[in-house]
Amino acid sequence: MVLLAALAAAATAVYATDFAVIVHNTNPTKAMPLAELGKIFRGKTSAWPNGRGITLIVRDPNSPAMKFIIEKVLGGSVDEGKAALNDPGRVKSGASVSFVSSDQDVVKGVESTPGAIGIVDVYNITSGVKVIKIDDKQPFDPGYVLKGRLQ
Amino acid sequence: MRNISLKRIFRIGFLAVALVVVAAAAPGAQQSKKSGQPAAKPATTKSVHAEAKPDTVPVTTSSKEARHEYELGMLHREDLLFDEEGLNDFRRAVKADPNFALGHATIAFFSDDPREEKREILLAKQTLAHAVPDEKLLIRFMIGTRDGDLIPAISAMNDLRASYPKDSRLGNMYAEWLLAVQLNYDRAEEVLQSVLKADPNYYPSLNNLAYCYSLSGDYSKTASLMQQYVSQLPGQPNPQDSYGELLRMAGDFKDSIEHYRQALFIAPSFTTSQLGIASNYAFMGDQERARVEYLQAISMTKERTTKLQYRMLWAMTYFRAGQQEQARKAYGDLALLAHKEDLAVDEAECYRTMALFNPSPEGALKDLDKAQGVLSQKHELPRADRESELAIILQTRAFIGARAGMSDVADKALALLAPMAAKSRSNVIQAAYHSTNGAVLLVQGKYAEAVPEFQENPRDPLSLQLLADAQSKVGLTTDSAKTLATLAAINDERVETAAVAQPVRDALKRNNPASTQANTPE
Q: Does residue A89 lie within any of the structural domains?
A: yes
Q: Does residue A44 lie within any of the structural domains?
A: yes
Q: Is the pLDDT of residue B127 over 60?
A: yes
Q: Are B113 and B382 in contact (CB under 8 A)?
A: no
For chain A, how many residues are written? 151
CATH of the domain at A51: 3.40.190.10
Q: Does residue A7 lie within any of the structural domains?
A: no
Q: Does residue A116 lie within any of the structural domains?
A: yes
Opening angle at CA B225, ends B219 and B227, nearest 5: 110
CA distance B256 to B240: 9
pLDDT digits (tens, 9 = 90+) for B236-285: 999 999 999 999 998 999 999 999 999 999 999 999 999 999 999 999 99
pTM: 0.78
Residue type, B321: A
For chain A, residues with pLDDT lower than 50 are 1-13
For residues B117-123, average pLDDT: 88
Q: Does residue A10 lie within any of the structural domains?
A: no
Q: How would you classify the pairing of strands A55-59 and A96-100? A: parallel
pLDDT digits (tens, 9 = 90+) for B422-435: 888 787 898 999 99
Q: Smallest Cβ distance to A17: which of B184, B216, B516?
A: B184
Q: Does residue A149 lie within any of the structural domains?
A: no
- Across all residues in chain B, what is the average pLDDT? 86
Q: Is the pLDDT of residue B43 over 50?
A: no
Q: Which residues of A touch B219 (CB under 8 A)?
A: 1, 5, 9
Cα separation values, B398 from A141, B78, B409, Å = 24, 38, 6
- DSSP state at residue A100: E
Q: Is the pLDDT of residue B388 over 80?
A: yes
* Number of domains present in the structure of chain A: 1
Split at pLDDT 50, 70, 90, the class of B123 is very high
CA distance B314 to B292: 9
For residues B482-509, average pLDDT: 91
- Chains A, B: CB contacts within 8 A come to 106
Interface check B461 vs A, CB under 8 A: no
pLDDT digits (tens, 9 = 90+) for B172-213: 889 988 888 887 888 899 999 999 999 998 999 999 999 999
Q: Does residue A147 lie within any of the structural domains?
A: no
Q: Which of the residues B226, B243, B283, B425 would you substitute to probe the A interface, choosing the one with the greatest number of A C-beta atoms within 10 Å?
A: B425
Tell me which of B424 and B332 has the higher pLDDT: B332
Q: Is the pLDDT of residue B28 over 80?
A: no
Q: How would you classify the pairing of strands A31-32 and A129-134? A: parallel
CA distance A106 to B3: 36
Please tell me the predicted confidence (pLDDT) of residue A151: 54
Dihedral angle sign, alpha carbons of residues B100, B101, B107, B113 = positive
State the nearest Cα–Cα gap between A138 and chain B, in angstroms.
9
Q: Does residue A96 lie within any of the structural domains?
A: yes
Contact across the interface for B489 and A7, Cβ inside 8 Å: yes
Give the residue numbers spanning the domain of A40. 28-139
